[in-house]
Amino acid sequence: MSLPELDLQRTFFDTDILFPRLGSAAGAERFSFFAERILPELMKRRPELEKMYCANNGRPAEEPVRMLAATILQFMERMPDRQAAEACSFDLRWKLALGMEADEPAFHATSLVKFRERLLSHGLEQLGFAAVLERMGEAGYLAKRNRQRLDSTHIIGLVSRMSRLDCIRETFRLALEELSRIESLPRPGAWALWWERYVESRIDYRSSGDIIRAKMGQAGIDARDALAWIKELPMNVRQGEAAKLLQRVFNENFETGANGAVEKVKVRPTGAVQNPHNPEAQWSSKETLTEKTWVGHKVQVAETVEDMPCQTGEPTKNVITAIVTQNAIESDKAGMAAVFAEQKRLGMEKPEILYADAAYVSGPSMAQAQSESRELMGPAIASPDRGVYTCEAFHVDVERRYAICPSGKTSTQCARMKAGKTGRITYRFEWCGLCQSCAVKGDCLHKGERDRMLRVNEHHTLTQARRKLMRTEEFKKDMRHRNGIEGTQSELVRGYGLRRARYRGNKKTRLQNYFIGAACNIKRWCRRVTWEAQQVADRGVRMKQPLAVSA
């Protein structure tokens, strides 16, 4: 599609000219705010959007700045594509926000789909979120060096929950249908049987367990035979998406014995395909969830933290600085690194203080923060309780290579060990010949042990200092700053639909989350500016009031 010509000429039919009081009407504040603050910033991003189109080849596309603005508004109002397109045609508030003429026809709903695809194919899914952040920084709401809080939450994928049998059968069906579209492809002798079993038939789950297990075993044998046939086909056929997915699902659910028999594996590997229509939606679990498990994705949300608490009725001044989409099985520590990388791309420095929960806090992460002159605030995980004294009961000086046990005896030797694969460094302290005569050996030694051995990592001093700090009132009071991220996640879930993915795949889910982050920041900014203007107006009224004169 060719790039449309940019027309900045104002006319008498512009919505704000025909209806000058529309922007101040109740319910239109965020739309007039969008037109004044956000639309000009998006217009500056047009050179980046121009890269998605040909200069003068093909039919003219919709104006890309308007499509980007309409998509952000769509997430602000939580509308599907069709309703958003209709709003651009019939809602004067939308026309005001998008700088349209009052009688200007809008685009077709499918234009939003094609625009999102172009953003993804050119790696510009973050453009709207970055533009809003930059504009808020220019307005003084986002300092480059600040305090932030971070936490993750789960996203339920746009996918139905399938049993393992359904997953392998549906994957087989997709592969057969993909191969059937190649008319010149020779069919094996079992083709008709496979087609009848997996394309034309469905499972009756009222059948007995023996029948279901037999069908699972048959599906494994059929998939093995089909994959053996596919291996003999030309390269372009073997590289088909459905054929490769069938091989992956077979490997995750079955194993072939030495005698060629196909057996079902008891446990599927981490990150296994749960539904062939969305292979990137992964199964994961979290202890803090009511449902415990989900199939989908994971997102890290970071926002700024203000020193002073808000007054009654005062809207938040906090800004969402990062919204990073992860695979469901990825750790929070990897998510924290991804958040820092994204903030660096956006021109922000790492926060001076980052408030997080125990999933982000470890000895290495605190040591890295200390080396970068910043602080990672959060609780350190306690040592595992194995029925004897844990390392918290010992005084350990890693730097001087000695440790003192609960009964006051100093370790006899210390060994420094480095793991070959990970490079992790640990220290092992021993009390050789000192434990048998100890009065508390029953609380310190496991049955059968002669001497106590204690192993700690190289950052044990930092970890122990944090565990001591956790018991102070000052730490508990400071960690209240972290609790606000729970409210932010609730705002994103309830107000913008963060909990459920609108689209399939990690890339499209990432695009959705960037637009959700931009929409939330805009509405927060609008409420804040409106409140500040009202405070100024109220002070002006109070100054004009005459002072009461006593009798």
Same domain assignment for residues 355 and 327: yes
Tens digits of residue pLDDT in 446-499: 888 888 999 998 999 999 999 999 999 999 999 999 999 999 999 999 999 999
Question: What distance, in Å, lies between the first and last C-alpha atoms of the chain?
Answer: 80
pLDDT band at 24 (very low <50, low <70, confident <90, very high): confident
Domain ends where: 235, 264, 293?
A: 264
Task: Tell me which residue range forms the domain holding 43.
Answer: 15-124
Is the pLDDT confidence value at 290 over 80?
no
Tens digits of residue pLDDT in 112-121: 999 999 999 9
DSSP 28-69: -HHHHHIIIIIHHHHHHTHHHHHTTSBSS-SSBPPPHHHHHH
Tens digits of residue pLDDT in 312-331: 888 999 999 999 999 999 99
What is d(CA 276, CA 330) in angstroms, rounded to the nearest whole number?
A: 20
Same domain assignment for residues 479 and 454: no
What is d(CA 212, CA 163) in angstroms, rounded to the nearest whole number?
A: 11
Residue 483 lies in a domain: yes
**Structure confidence at residue 551 (pLDDT):** 41
Tens digits of residue pLDDT in 185-218: 889 999 999 999 999 998 888 888 899 999 999 9
Q: Are 276 and 163 in contact (CB under 8 A)?
A: no
Residue 179 lies in a domain: yes
pLDDT band at 548 (very low <50, low <70, confident <90, very high): low
What is d(CA 256, CA 63) in angstroms, rounded to the nearest whole number?
A: 56
Tens digits of residue pLDDT in 398-407: 989 999 999 9
Residue 437 lies in a domain: yes
CA 149 to the chain's CA centroid: 15
Residue 140 lies in a domain: no
Same domain assignment for residues 20 and 79: yes
Mean pLDDT score of the chain: 91
Q: Are 399 and 376 in contact (CB under 8 A)?
A: no
Task: State mean pLDDT over 370-394.
Answer: 89
Tens digits of residue pLDDT in 80-130: 999 999 999 999 999 999 999 999 888 999 999 999 999 999 999 999 999
Domain ends where: 202, 231, 264?
A: 264
Tens digits of residue pLDDT in 209-257: 899 999 999 999 999 999 999 999 988 888 889 999 999 999 999 998 8
The structural domain count of the chain equals 4
